[in-house]
Structure 1
Amino acid sequence: MLRKGSIAASMFWLSAAWLVLALVTTGVLLTDLYSRALDTTLTETLDFHVESLTGALLETGDPQSPDITLADPRFERPRSGWYWIIHDSDGALINLSTSVVGLDLPQLDMDDDAFGRSSGIVADPFGTQLRVVQRTVTLDGQGYRIAVSGNLTEMLKLVSDFRGQAFIVLGAVGIMLAAMSAFVARIALRPIARLSEAVEAVREGDSAEVSGTYPTEIAPLAEEVNELLRSNAQIIERARNQVGNLAHGLKTPIAVLRNEAAAKKGALADVVSSETEKMSNMVSTYLERARLAARTSVVGKKADATMIMLRMTRVMRKIHPNVTIAFQRPDASLPWFRGDEADLEEMAGNLLDNACKWSSGQVGVRLSAERGDKGTQLLVRIDDNGPGLSEADAQKVLRRGVRLDEKTPGTGLGLDIVKELVDVYGGSLELKRSQLGGLLVELRLPTARLGGLVRPQGN
């Protein structure tokens, strides 16, 4: 099926428009040629009849002789449109065919050519169009004008019938050619569809590069895409190395300043200690952001969310043995997470760990697929039966380092790290009231295809 806006559809409609124009033009030209051929044949037939009458006139020597006749039976049938008449030089009627009896035919008002011949079109009293050929001959010094007419209306009807049949045939040919054009367009554009599937496979993580053999017209495009992927991987690798070098280069001087300030007393030492702490936090913040951005910029990664959540619930059950974690395992049709496995572990681990810390002994975990404006997304829902959060507190805890309860161990960076990762992947994070009485966390992330893998069974 040709989709609107596709190359195949554009080729089809352009071809169809050209076919319509070409076939209509062909039909008009064929009809005109056929009309000319019939008119030429009619004129030649009339010329032959004029010659026959001239021969009969010269043979009998009497223009009124009943032996002057034509064998064509149409000249015997009234109103047939096939008539012959002989006039003298004064215009008086001398002889005529049986078909003319009782009719007053108009004469041609045309001059003869060098051979004493003229031709034209008139109409009989019944409105029939006639093609007339007339010739002047001389017998015994007396001039006679012989006129023979043929039924032009019959010929025009043949032309009309031919035109209708021609356009029916050309229309059928046009439909077949249009179908062939659509078929050829689809066949010719199959390599582009294969290239699109190969690029999609790279994006979904099924392949590391665009593979396959393509025609010479699009083979360079496939190579450029692969080169772009290789260049992207190299740039990310260099960025990771630079981030690591920067972290190592900054942390050591900051640690030296912090230690020196701690060994001294006074206002200057306090200022240095306070500012180095800010510097350390700022360096950690931006290095973490750079690390996340570099890691999630790699094309073609995906992870099985079901297996990751199974693994995380096992870990959390060991870390929080007093908490009951209920994981509702989804069916095998659940799409995969399109991203790095470690990132999903970090997001899910932080959220699940917070739920266990704040719960009163009960935590629920659910995975599902949700369709929305951004297409199909992976929905991770984690809720607990703890104290929960107000709407204002829910917005506040997403800020870096903010903690509502200093008694609970932690740095306050967990939710903010999750938020950073969610933003990088173009997902969303919402904190709501749970039906268990505590906090409900809804995490939405992009999805990838299953990739043909089979998930193991069991918890």
Structure 2
Amino acid sequence: MSWSLRKRFLVTSLGVSAAALVAAGIFLYVLFERDFMARVQSETHNQLMQLVSGLEVDEAGKVIKTQAMTDPRFRQPSSGLYWQVESKTGEVLRSRSLWDATLSTGDQPWRDIDAPEAFPGPFNEPVLVHARLISLGEGAQRQQLRVMIAVNESEVTTPTQHFAVNLLLSLLVLGLAMMVVSAAQLGMVMAPITALRNSVRDIRDGKATRVTGEYPVEIEPVVGKLNSLLEQREQMVERARSRAGNFAHSLKTPLTVIDTLLPELRNRGHHATAGEIGKQTAQLRKHADRELARARMAGGHGEPVRDVRAVLEEIVTTMRHLPRGRDIDFVIEVPQGAAIRMDRDDFIELIANVLDNARKWARTRTLIRLEPGEGEMLLSVSDDGPGIALPDMGKIVERGRRLDEGTEGSGIGLAIVNDIADACNLRTTFGPSELGGLSFSVALPAARA
């Protein structure tokens, strides 16, 4: 299953943003750590140069320190900053901060350490050591010395760790802000598509016939094509309905002429021939009537029904002017203002045929009821007529099928009901009525608020 545009945008945006934030975090951390180490190295180098400049060899050949270090931490025991000077003879000078401890590089030979390196330090704390080998003194008093500056490793790791935590929090806040911005951006990008979807829904519900509104230039061609397609479809449907109606009307004239000639055939003694011709012309007339009815269908694309009760009352008024119409008590149990998503003409055609069937068969009462459901409304029409046996239920929607030839009508009414239901994708059922006769029910799509 393909991903939606919304999901693609979110996944891509969040993925790219997360990757960019991780890369930026790593880059900034490495950059900070490198710059901080460079600053530590610069400071220890300056302190080393200050220490070397203050060393001398006295007349007795002993190394002495002639000036104090400017950083007060050298005079504070276990301060984390230390200096030490040692000679090949084992003589050692050290800062007060070392107290009685010494700096050591282990078993490594004496060498210059230009970039601070980590070694075990005093007071059980690792230190970063910066060392330089120098020669001091003249003649026989000349000595080889190793001068060292050491700083606790925590002086470097603690600030970098604090920076890492603050950087992580900052990137998290930035990530959340980017998510909010992405969501807002997505809403702006998807707004025209949402508007287009709502406009298409209105067309489906019968609230509009065209896609309206202003759209970005990227979507405007789609809107134009869609409106053109809707117009072409309407024209094709209208032409098809017109052709079907004209064809059905064109059949009625010759059928009427044939009907007028049937008495002459009977007068000449051709009773069987006249009866067969009459039977076939009646069948053709039924087909013509049915095609005329189907041509009037809008297929659910006309004006919707905004007040079902009002439309039913109009149909019932019409039924009362037909034979037996005033003898039937049509009871309408439909709330005022109930609306459905169905073409008004199709609805009238469907219910009129159902009520016409009830008018012919009901004894005294017909009940019309509308019950709301989830996303749809169930409309039922029940009468107190003789009803239909269950094996014959499927036959009543057949073309021209009449279970009682003695009853008036062409036998296509319920077949038209079936055609309209198929055209509008409606679910219909026939069954026994609670009043004792036939019950018809249809699930109608409820209008959206």
* Length-normalised TM-score, structure 2: 0.85
* Inter-CA distance 102–278: structure 2 relative to 1 (3 Å threshold): farther
- Pick one of 260, 279, 301 that aligns with 2:303: 301
- Could you tell me how far apart the structure 1 residues matched to 2:62 and 2:253 are? 134
Q: Is the 8 A contact 1:352 1:382 kept in 2?
A: yes
> What's 1:456 paired with?
none
- Could you tell me how far apart the structure 2 residues matched to 1:290 and 1:160 are? 81
Equivalent residue of 2:55, what SS? helix
> What's 1:136 paired with?
133
> What's 1:182 paired with?
183
- Could you tell me how far apart the structure 2 residues matched to 1:361 and 1:291 are? 33
Equivalent residue of 2:63, what SS? coil
> What's 2:217 paired with?
216
Render the CA deviation track for 1:352-394: whole Å, top value 9, x for unaligned. Answer: 12112211211111223322xxxx2232211122222222122
Q: Is the 8 A contact 1:117 1:136 kept in 2?
A: no
- Pick one of 102, 107, 123 that aligns with 2:100: 102
Q: Is the 8 A contact 1:317 1:325 kept in 2?
A: no
Equivalenced residues, count: 436
Render the CA deviation track for 1:397-449: whole Å, top value 9, x for unaligned. Answer: 22222222222112211111101111111112212222222222112233434
Letter in 1 for 2:421: V
Superposed, which structure 2 residues align to 1:333-348 within 5 Å? 334-339=338-343, 341-348=344-351
- Could you tell me how far apart the structure 2 residues matched to 1:165 and 1:279 are? 89
- Could you tell me how far apart the structure 1 residues matched to 2:447 and 2:115 are? 86
Q: Is the 8 A contact 2:54 2:65 kept in 1?
A: no
Q: Is the 8 A contact 2:118 2:129 kept in 1?
A: yes
> What's 2:17 paired with?
19
Q: Is the 8 A contact 1:110 1:118 kept in 2?
A: no
RMSD: 3.3
Superposed, which structure 2 residues align to 1:214-363 within 5 Å? 214-247=215-248, 263=265, 273=277, 277=281, 280=284, 284=288, 287=291, 291=295, 295-297=297-299, 299-304=301-306, 305-319=308-322, 320-332=325-337, 334-339=338-343, 341-363=344-366
* Inter-CA distance 267–389: structure 2 relative to 1 (3 Å threshold): closer
- Could you tell me how far apart the structure 2 residues matched to 1:167 and 1:79 are? 32
- Could you tell me how far apart the structure 2 residues matched to 1:173 and 1:362 are? 73
Letter in 2 for 1:53: L
Equivalent residue of 1:65, what SS? strand
Letter in 2 for 1:425: C
Equivalent residue of 1:383, what SS? strand
* Inter-CA distance 285–322: structure 2 relative to 1 (3 Å threshold): closer
- Could you tell me how far apart the structure 2 residues matched to 1:257 and 1:291 are? 25
Among all aligned residue pairs of Structure 1 and Structure 2, give the percentage whose two residues are the same amino acid.
26
> What's 1:200 paired with?
201
Q: CA deviation at 1:233?
A: 1.2
Q: Is the 8 A contact 2:41 2:115 kept in 1?
A: no
- Could you tell me how far apart the structure 1 residues matched to 2:230 and 2:26 are? 57
Q: Is the 8 A contact 1:122 1:130 kept in 2?
A: yes
* Inter-CA distance 445–123: structure 2 relative to 1 (3 Å threshold): same
> What's 1:381 paired with?
380
Q: Unpaired runs of 5+ in structure 2?
A: none
Q: CA deviation at 1:43?
A: 0.7
* Inter-CA distance 361–276: structure 2 relative to 1 (3 Å threshold): closer
> What's 2:156 paired with?
155
Letter in 2 for 1:207: A
* Length-normalised TM-score, structure 1: 0.84
Q: CA deviation at 1:40?
A: 0.8
Q: Which moved more, 1:204-213 or 1:161-170?
A: 204-213
Letter in 2 for 1:390: A
Equivalent residue of 1:171, what SS? helix
* Inter-CA distance 378–145: structure 2 relative to 1 (3 Å threshold): same
Q: Unpaired runs of 5+ in structure 1?
A: 451-459
Q: CA deviation at 1:327?
A: 1.4
> What's 1:41 paired with?
39
- Pick one of 18, 29, 32 that aligns with 2:30: 32
> What's 2:55 paired with?
57
> What's 1:457 paired with?
none
